[in-house]
């Protein structure tokens, strides 16, 4: 694709998702991104910028869309640095100024990668967030060394936001951060200017969240919020469906919210056809992911929504959604609620594919198994109430076997339970993996039975 053709694909002020569909190769995508950059720099095309919201602890505007650094594109088992660099550059020049990494994302390579990429921009032009890896710490004396290592990895002298990562246990919080002095150390770093804003990300229950909010002062919090995990004031929290309770407590304390999993790990980007048909009647050109982002961004206490973007299509769609950001109005909410009513009881497993459960001692690709099931079982009409036949059953098995190596499939789960305490969503992983295994076995039996009948 030459530059002139790429400019036509760009189609004016905002890169079009439709044009991206024609780009089949990585090389095409890179040339396309280079063409967009050249067009913007030359003035051949002009694009709006992602909307911003004022974040008082830093006294600055932050983009309503944040680039989560947990799902960078991969090449040969490693982060595809060239493509990641160009995707981040696209987001940056379209107004994204918030980047969120963590100590163990991409096996420790995320911090180095985003730090290296951001080096080309003025330090004050972006906000970099990192997190203390709570789950990995047994000895509080390790906290200073980890913090210094994070600064070195990222190549910065300070973090704009810094979070206690994935708080889920009162016992560990008290042992590591209170009795162990971890929180005092991080507060000292804030006083010394090496942390500009201090908060926590959360994966625990509502009583623990309320305790943290009632007994400590925080600049911000990061919570999981999306329209499937929201509970109204008159609804009791249930599993991951507690976002409403968390948000209302933050609102009571006037603590700004940064949001993880607004698209629930991509689950809300791939809706059942009947739900999508309802949304398309309201907004024919809008993606399912855009509805999810607009829902979250409608909440006034939300500063930035994080999206772990692994493809340029995701970046472009999310940038488009958050440019001149338009919250959902009452009519939109009614349509979304209607689509959710159609989306009940699909059997979808509430996994966000974060891979905190990795590695499985027996090699099961937990996220890969569940993602394949979530993406294709309902879509092919194979869940309860569906009408999928032998053709659809064969297609599912082909997709499953192509997506997950034989040694990493659900039938290798031994129910050792090592994954259970690691799951931020509190999913009973062995039970769900067994469900997928039984589902696969049933499809194979149905196909075999049909073949036997045909041969008689």
241 and 114, same domain (yes or no): yes
Facing residues of 130 across strands? 162
Length of the chain: 456
The CA-to-CA distance between both ends of the chain, in Å, stands at 54
109 and 227, same domain (yes or no): yes
42 and 56, same domain (yes or no): no
pLDDT over 80 at 142, yes or no: yes
pLDDT over 70 at 179, yes or no: yes
138 and 37, same domain (yes or no): no
CA 134 from chain centre, in angstroms, equals 19
In a domain? residue 129: yes
227 and 337, same domain (yes or no): yes
pLDDT tens, position by position, 404-416: 999 999 999 999 9
pLDDT over 80 at 378, yes or no: no
CATH number where 113 lies: 3.20.20.100
**What's the mean pLDDT in 341-365?**
78
Report DSSP state, residue 241.
B
In a domain? residue 357: no
**What's the mean pLDDT in 147-169?**
98
The pTM of the full predicted model, rounded to 2 decimals, is 0.79
pLDDT over 60 at 265, yes or no: yes
348 within 8 A of 378, measured Cβ to Cβ: yes
In a domain? residue 350: no
43 and 54, same domain (yes or no): no
Angle between helices 288-297 and 312-322 (to 10 degrees): 40
pLDDT tens, position by position, 74-125: 999 999 999 999 999 999 999 999 999 999 999 999 999 999 999 999 999 9
How many domains does one find in the chain?
3
pLDDT over 80 at 455, yes or no: no
Least reliable range by pLDDT among 25-34, 96-105, 227-236, 345-354: 345-354
Let me know the angle formed at the C-alpha of 275 by 272 and 277, rounded to the nearest 5 degrees: 105
253 and 108, same domain (yes or no): yes
In a domain? residue 42: yes
447 and 329, same domain (yes or no): no
**Strand 257-260 vs strand 220-224: parallel, antiparallel, or unpaired?**
parallel
List the domain range (segments joined by +) for residue 21. 1-47
Kindly indicate the confidence band of residue 6, based on its pLDDT and cuts at 50, 70 and 90. Answer: very low
Say which residues have a Cβ less than 8 Å from residue 329's Cβ, sequence separation at least 6: none
Report the C-alpha gap between 114 and 103 in whole angstroms. Answer: 12
What rounded mean pLDDT belongs to the chain? 90
In a domain? residue 332: yes
31 and 132, same domain (yes or no): no
pLDDT over 80 at 387, yes or no: no
**CA-wise closest residue to 98 among 313, 307, 316:** 307
3 within 8 A of 35, measured Cβ to Cβ: yes
**CA-wise closest residue to 357 among 424, 438, 278:** 424
Amino acid 24: pLDDT: 58
Number of Cβ within 10 Å of residue 320's Cβ equals 21
Share of the chain above pLDDT 90, in %: 74
pLDDT tens, position by position, 313-330: 999 999 999 999 999 999
Residue where one domain finishes, among candidates 342, 357, 376: 342
One-character DSSP codes across 351-397: -----TTPPPTT---HHHHHHHHHHHTTTTT-STT----HHHHHHHH
Amino acid 217: pLDDT: 98
250 and 373, same domain (yes or no): no
Amino acid 345: pLDDT: 47
132 within 8 A of 103, measured Cβ to Cβ: yes
60 and 41, same domain (yes or no): no
Kindly indicate the confidence band of residue 344, based on its pLDDT and cuts at 50, 70 and 90. Answer: very low
108 and 215, same domain (yes or no): yes
Residue where one domain finishes, among candidates 342, 374, 397: 342
């Amino acid at each position: 694709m030459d530059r002139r053709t790429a400019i036509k694909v760009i189609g004016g002020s905002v890169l079009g998702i439709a044009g991206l569909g024609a780009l089949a190769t990585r090389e095409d995508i890179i040339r396309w991104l280079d063409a967009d950059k050249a067009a913007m720099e030359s003035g051949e095309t002009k694009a709006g910028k992602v909307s911003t919201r004022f974040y008082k602890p830093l006294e600055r505007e932050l983009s309503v869309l944040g680039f989560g650094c947990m799902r960078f594109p991969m090449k040969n088992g490693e982060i595809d640095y060239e493509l990641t660099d160009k995707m981040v550059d696209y987001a940056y020049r379209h107004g994204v100024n918030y980047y969120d990494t963590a100590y163990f994302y991409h096996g420790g390579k995320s911090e180095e990668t985003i730090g290296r990429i951001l080096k080309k921009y003025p330090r004050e032009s972006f906000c970099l967030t990192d997190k203390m890896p709570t789950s990995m710490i047994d000895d509080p004396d390790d906290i200073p060394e980890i913090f210094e290592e994070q600064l070195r990895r990222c190549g910065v002298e300070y973090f704009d936001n810094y979070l206690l990562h994935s708080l889920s246990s009162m016992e560990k919080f008290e042992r590591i951060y209170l009795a162990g002095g971890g929180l005092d150390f991080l507060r000292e770093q804030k006083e010394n200017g090496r942390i500009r804003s201090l908060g926590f990300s959360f994966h625990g229950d509502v009583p623990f969240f309320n305790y943290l909010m009632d007994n400590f002062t925080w600049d911000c919090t990061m919570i999981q919020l999306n329209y499937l995990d929201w509970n109204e004031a008159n609804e009791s929290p249930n599993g991951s469906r507690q976002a409403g309770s968390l948000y209302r407590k933050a609102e009571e304390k006037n603590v700004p919210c940064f949001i993880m999993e607004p698209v629930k790990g991509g689950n809300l980007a791939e809706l059942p056809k009947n739900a999508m048909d309802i949304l398309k009647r309201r907004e024919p050109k809008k993606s399912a992911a855009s509805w999810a982002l607009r829902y979250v961004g409608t909440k006034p206490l939300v500063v930035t929504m994080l999206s772990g973007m692994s493809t340029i299509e995701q970046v472009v769609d999310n940038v488009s959604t958050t440019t001149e950001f338009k919250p959902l109005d009452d009519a939109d909410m009614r349509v979304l609620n209607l689509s959710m009513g159609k989306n009940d009881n699909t059997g979808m497993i509430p996994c966000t594919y974060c891979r905190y459960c990795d590695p499985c001692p027996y090699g099961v690709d937990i996220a890969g198994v569940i993602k394949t099931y979530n993406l294709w079982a309902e879509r092919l009409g194979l869940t309860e109430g569906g009408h999928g036949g032998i053709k659809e059953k064969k297609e599912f098995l082909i997709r499953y076997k192509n997506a997950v190596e034989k040694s990493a499939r659900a039938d290798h789960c031994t129910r050792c339970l090592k994954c259970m305490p690691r799951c931020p969503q509190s999913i009973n992983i062995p039970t769900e993996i067994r469900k997928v295994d039984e589902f696969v076995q049933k499809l194979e039996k149905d196909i075999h039975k049909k073949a036997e009948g045909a041969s008689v």
